[in-house]
């Protein structure tokens, strides 16, 4: 199959391209660096021309309210180009539990993206993933100082980016789901405990302080960012750290 991977040079996209090509498909990465702009529409028609599948892995440059406009405009542009190009399957990557955290602008924006796709003219699939293991360093930095890192005990089910990419690639070359597939890491851990594990493995002697008001995940209620019934990926966090 020919697959146009929009956002195909990023963390997930580059691995999706690699996995698809290794499996014998023709996956072509597109991004601003290749002359494709999902906001202005520049290069989109050419990027999706002749593609059987479009995988959209572009991301908003901000996580605030402006992310809503990014996903509205980018999805309108991409769906229009895909429709003109006769694309038969459109895939996006979203977040497990995104619809359960309306307090976060970015999560509301991802739900908007899902809804635009579901209401659009092209058979579709939505892959929802739990939090990426690769993002833990950033999460730690949000509420850290020289001696401590403050984190809430929000349940997290971390998944490796490589496992996310493999799942997206599998969905891309399958029949459109017409709905959502949840994927998740193999274990659920409180975020503060993940912080302690991370610092310990890195030889970082700062103390993790459990603080229910600290950082972005403080607004998350209960275990909505986890899914015990999701398709579980093989990589454990401790192994990924190694």
The CA distance from 128 to 80, in Å, is 23
pLDDT at position 117 is 98
∠ CA 65-152-137, nearest 5°, is 70
The CA distance from 148 to 224, in Å, is 27
Kindly give the confidence (pLDDT) of every residue in the chain, 242 residues in length, as a single tens digit, with 9 standing for 90 and above: 999 999 999 999 999 999 999 999 999 999 999 999 999 999 999 999 999 999 999 999 999 999 999 999 999 999 999 999 999 999 999 999 999 999 999 999 999 999 999 999 999 999 999 999 999 999 999 999 999 999 999 999 999 999 999 999 999 999 999 999 999 999 999 999 999 999 999 999 999 999 999 999 999 999 999 999 999 999 999 999 99
Taking alpha carbons only, the member of 104, 128, 133, 143 closest to residue 194 is 133
Please, how many CA atoms are within 13 Å of residue 194, restricted to the half-sphere of its CB? 28
143 in Cβ contact with 150 (< 8 Å) = yes
pLDDT tens by residue, 215-239: 999 999 999 999 999 999 999 999 9
């Amino acid at each position: 199959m020919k697959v146009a991977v929009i956002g195909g040079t990023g963390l997930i996209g580059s691995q999706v391209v690699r996995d698809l090509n290794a499996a014998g498909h023709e996956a072509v990465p597109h991004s601003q660096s290749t002359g494709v702009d999902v906001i202005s529409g520049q290069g989109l028609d050419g990027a999706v021309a002749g593609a059987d599948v479009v995988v959209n892995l572009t991301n908003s440059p901000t996580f605030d309210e402006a992310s809503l406009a990014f996903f509205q405009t980018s999805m309108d542009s991409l769906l229009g180009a895909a429709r003109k190009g006769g694309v038969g399957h459109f895939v996006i990557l979203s977040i497990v539990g995104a619809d359960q955290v309306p307090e976060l602008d970015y999560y509301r924006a991802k739900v908007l993206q899902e809804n635009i796709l579901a209401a659009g003219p092209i058979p579709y699939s939505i892959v929802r993933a739990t939090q990426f293991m690769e993002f833990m360093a950033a999460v730690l930095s949000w509420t850290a100082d020289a001696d401590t890192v403050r984190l809430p005990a929000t349940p997290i089910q971390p998944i490796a980016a490589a496992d996310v990419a493999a799942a997206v690639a599998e969905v891309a070359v399958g029949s459109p789901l017409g709905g959502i597939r949840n994927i998740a890491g193999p274990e659920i851990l409180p975020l503060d405990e993940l912080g302690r594990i991370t610092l310990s493995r890195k030889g970082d002697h700062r103390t993790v302080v459990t603080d229910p008001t600290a950082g972005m995940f403080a607004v998350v209620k209960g275990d909505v960012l986890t899914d015990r019934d999701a398709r579980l990926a093989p990589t454990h966090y401790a192994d990924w750290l190694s």
